[in-house]
Each structure stands twice: as C-alpha cells, then as structure tokens.
Structure 1
C-alpha cells in the first residue's frame, strides 16, 4: 500500500499574513500591563470616573471616600496606584490631597492598543 503525501510549495511565499504595523515593544508592553493592572479594579475605575466627572476633572480625597464606601486609607491606596500608573496627579492643599486626571493618560492606553 502506497501513501501519498501532500507537498507544500515553499517557494509560494510566507505561510502567514505579514504584520501591518509594528507590534508593541517589550517596554511598551510593560507600561501597558502596569496601566491595565491599575485599571483592572472596580474601585479604581469608579475613582477615575468620579474624578473625571468632578468640576475641573479634580476631586479632594475627602470627596472620594463616601461614594466608594471604603475607608480613607484604602481609598488613598487606590489613588496612589492610579497616580503611580500615570492616570492621576496629586496636589496637597492644607491637610487634604486633591487628585486630577492627567491629560491624555487614557488616550495613551487606546493608542498603544490600536497602534494609532
């Protein structure tokens, strides 16, 4: 009994579709992973939303505690994660800390994912 095998013509070109744009570099992937980890928490997403919806896209930490129903130290921890990830800026006024959205921070996530 003879078995016939199909032969692939390797001269016909690549077997895969070529890339249409440059993929993420290792550094971009690391930055994106850090940013996405910061956003991968419902409380942090709510905090960003509250800050974004506040007048001037800025809110005092004292105004963020009650809406999320967590203690001040826990809210401060979440805000620090968002600040470290580059989504928020912090300024101190008297005894209170105020947080403001970093202009374009969320746009940068979108650009890294879409390559635009």
Structure 2
C-alpha cells in the first residue's frame, strides 16, 4: 500500500480519501484494542464469577443473578434497591437506565 498525496485539481478525490481511510483505520482499531484490553483486565479482577453460597438469596431473573454472581450487586442477594440495580446494570450490562428500570422493578417484586 502506497501513501497518496492529497488530490490535485482535477484528480479523483475518492481514491485519495480511501487511501487515507486505509491508513487511519488500522490505527484506530489498534488504539481501541489496546484500551479495551486494559479495561477488561481491571474489570475481570474486580468482577470475577463466584458461585452463590447456600445462604445467598437469588432471584428467578437470570440477569440479577449474573450481576450478583459477578459482584455488581451484593453477592448475598440481600438489601438490593432499584438504584443499586440500575447502577449495576449500567456498569455490568452496559445498558441505559430506561431500558432496565421495568426489569429492575419486576425483579424485586418476584424474588
């Protein structure tokens, strides 16, 4: 792959833009991969899966159980509030509060 100079008057601008994209795209992907790897290692150390104990409470909701098993919610399943669930879902599942609010209310009612 050769670097093309910016287009001259009357040349094909599309070719030049494609060449620039081919140069820049790998750099962007490398930066994202490097930053993602650092984030993943710190998250994995804080939120490793630990099986629930016999004394722990669990919900019929697999999402809430996942958040508790990974430590986003109290691992014992007790004293969980809707704001705690919203914060845990935003951090653990990377979803917005509006998407999880109804599920959080339902999860507290049926456990």
Task: Provide the TM-score with structure 1 as the length reference.
Answer: 0.30
Of Structure 1 and Structure 2, the greater helix share is in 2
Task: Provide the TM-score with structure 2 as the length reference.
Answer: 0.31
Of Structure 1 and Structure 2, the greater strand share is in 1
